[in-house]
Structure 1
Amino acid sequence: MPDDRPTTTTGDAVLPDTAAFDVLHVLALKGMAATDPLVTGSRYAREDVLAELEKLRAHGLASHLERRGLWRVTPEGRERHAALLDEDLTGEDVTGDARDRLRPGYELFLPLNDRFKELCTRWQLRDGVTNDHTDTAYDRARFGELGALHEETVPVVDLLTAVRPRFGRYRLGLTRALTRLRTGEQQAFTGVRCDSYHDVWMELHRDLLVSLRIERETEERTRTSP
């Protein structure tokens, strides 16, 4: 996947907005993850992701928990990621500052996020008690709502992807999760750490907050203030 942007080096490690940066970016968003989710998130072949992870580990930007098979971003890795992300998004080109161009998509995402959170609550609870998913008609109605929300979300993700192609993975992830849900995999709605719709959605939200340098608490205060 060619990239004509300049690279940034740390010692012998090259960290451009290509394979190494993409892997570091996904790892920083997740905090800790097994190899497979990092492969899915970074859009590269497994062997390439493993090679980049080993480079990150060699330079102290990532660590590997051997017994659990998990990779974890280090404090140094978070600092490096923040610096590279800032460099990537603040440098102006003929299209202008990337953060300014991401913000309209973020503003469109916020009301969709409110609706998604409310829908997740109604998927998990009915009349204040846990939804046991025995009412097929009720669950199918929630599928329909999610499908409609998905149709509204895709153009927003496409706007973000036009600014930085790495956002394109969220469209793929959300679509895959919706397909799994429609074929009977209930966990694909709000399951945890299984690439559920909720998993992918929340990572998209984190990506926007990190990219725009917005604290979640600040976002919540801004959204709830009169």
Structure 2
Amino acid sequence: MMSTTTDRFELLHALKVKGLATDDFLIAMTGLTARDVSSLVGVLTGEGLVVRRETPRMSGTMITAEGKSAYEELGRDSPLAPSARGRVEEVYAAFLPVNSAFKGVCAAWQLDAAGNPNDHSDPDYDAAVIADLGAIHERVIAVLSPAGEAVARLGRYPARLAAALSRIQDGDRAAFARPMSDSYHDVWMELHQDLLLTAQRERDEADEG
């Protein structure tokens, strides 16, 4: 493929969000095809902007120090339009209270009503937490509804969150919060980091609330 400046930025941005990223993640984040992701990763590897890691547990791509510098330069050369930046700021501000509520639901999933580790032996308790997650999902989808108009990448999160929620509702407990499994929590954390990077904000107390 003939990589565009936008494609290069989006792939480097995805790596800034994720750290070590599988090709499937890069496809979901960038909207590129599997073939184009593979080709672009090869190009960026040759330029020293990314590296491939192959481990028994996980294989993927990581951004290098040179890649981070290139990412910053691309961002300066093609900044968001003021209207798009304003929209992202609005989405970020609306996201924060939902993020706080989501943390409460995650805590409820990890601990039972007595404050003990949740062994998931009480189906009624788990069903209630999953219902609460469903309500959070509706809130965050409403928050994100204008985001894709400002930045196409942000418009891809609702489908990814919905897919994780569907897995949870179908009985896949790992889809709630298991790390590195494209769980709902994984996608949520990626969304949060994406909003911070896109809005060019540092994480602060409001993000931890």
Fold equivalence (TM over 0.5): yes
Which residue of structure 1 aligns with residue 196 of structure 2? Answer: 209
Residue type matched to 1:40 in 2? A
Partner of 1:166: helix, strand, or coil?
A: helix
Matching of residue 72 in structure 1 with residue 84 in structure 2:
no
**Runs in 1 of length 4+ with deviation above 6 angstroms?**
221-224
Residue type matched to 1:76 in 2? E
How far is 1:85 from its partner? 2.9
What runs of 5+ residues in structure 2 fail to find an aligned partner? none
1:85-164 mapped onto 2 (5 Å cutoff): 85-90=75-80, 92=81, 96-126=82-112, 127-164=114-151
Cα distance change, pair 60–27 in 1 and its aligned pair in 2 (3 A) = same
TM-score calculated relative to the size of structure 2 = 0.90
Q: Is the 8 A contact 1:89 1:98 kept in 2?
A: no
| Greater relative contact order structure (CA < 8 Å, 6+ sep) | 2
Q: Partners of 1:147 and 1:33 in 2: how far apart? A: 27
Cα distance change, pair 223–57 in 1 and its aligned pair in 2 (3 A) = closer
Residue type matched to 2:89 in 1? R
Q: Partners of 1:146 and 1:221 in 2: how far apart? A: 21
Partner of 1:146: helix, strand, or coil?
A: helix
Q: Partners of 2:31 and 2:189 in 1: how far apart? A: 19
Matching of residue 179 in structure 1 with residue 166 in structure 2:
yes
Cα distance change, pair 163–46 in 1 and its aligned pair in 2 (3 A) = same
Cα distance change, pair 86–178 in 1 and its aligned pair in 2 (3 A) = farther
Q: Partners of 1:66 and 1:108 in 2: how far apart? A: 39
Q: Is the 8 A contact 1:89 1:211 kept in 2?
A: no
Q: Partners of 1:197 and 1:221 in 2: how far apart? A: 21
% identity of equivalent residues: 37
Deviations 1:58-111 (A, max 9, x none): 111101124553211001111222232344434x3xxx3422221111110000
